[in-house]
């Protein structure tokens, strides 16, 4: 769990991902289109990946990937991120981390 928390807190927007996951790709593209380049952490390429998956689930994420952290706080997986975006609440959360003016 320490590794997940450390990575999440060291970067503004972090997506814990798997390289073969289409939902992870979709969430990544959403953030890029909103002007944020997230830190993508491919847990399937980490020897501690299985433990990281368990830690993400223990932190309260419905699915181990994609797991999105903004400002060190777990925001959730695909459904939660899309819901925030559709309700207009995602952009204010990522505003401190955007690279492109809105």
Ranges of beta strands (E only) in the chain are: 13-17, 39-42, 67-70, 73-76
Residue 36 is predicted with a pLDDT of 93
Provide the CATH topology of domain 2-97: Glutaredoxin (3.40.30)
Residue 64 per-residue DSSP state: S
- Note the pLDDT tens digit of each residue in 13-71: 999 999 999 999 999 999 999 999 999 999 999 999 999 999 999 999 988 899 999 99
Residue 19 is predicted with a pLDDT of 94
- Binning pLDDT at 50, 70 and 90, where does residue 99 land? low
Give the global pTM: 0.92
CA dihedral of 92, 81, 84, 74, whole degrees rounded to 10: -70
Average pLDDT over residues 73-87: 96
- Note the pLDDT tens digit of each residue in 84-95: 999 999 999 999
């Amino acid at each position: 769990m320490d590794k997940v928390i450390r990575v999440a807190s060291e970067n503004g927007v972090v997506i814990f991902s798997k390289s073969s996951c289409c939902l992870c790709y979709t969430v990544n593209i959403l953030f890029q289109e909103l002007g944020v380049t997230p830190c993508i952490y491919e847990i399937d390429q980490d020897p501690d990946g299985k433990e990281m998956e368990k830690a993400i689930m223990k932190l309260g994420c419905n699915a181990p990937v994609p797991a999105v952290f903004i400002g060190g706080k777990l925001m959730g997986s695909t459904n939660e991120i899309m819901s925030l975006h559709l309700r207009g609440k995602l952009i204010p959360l990522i505003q401190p981390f955007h690279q492109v003016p809105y």
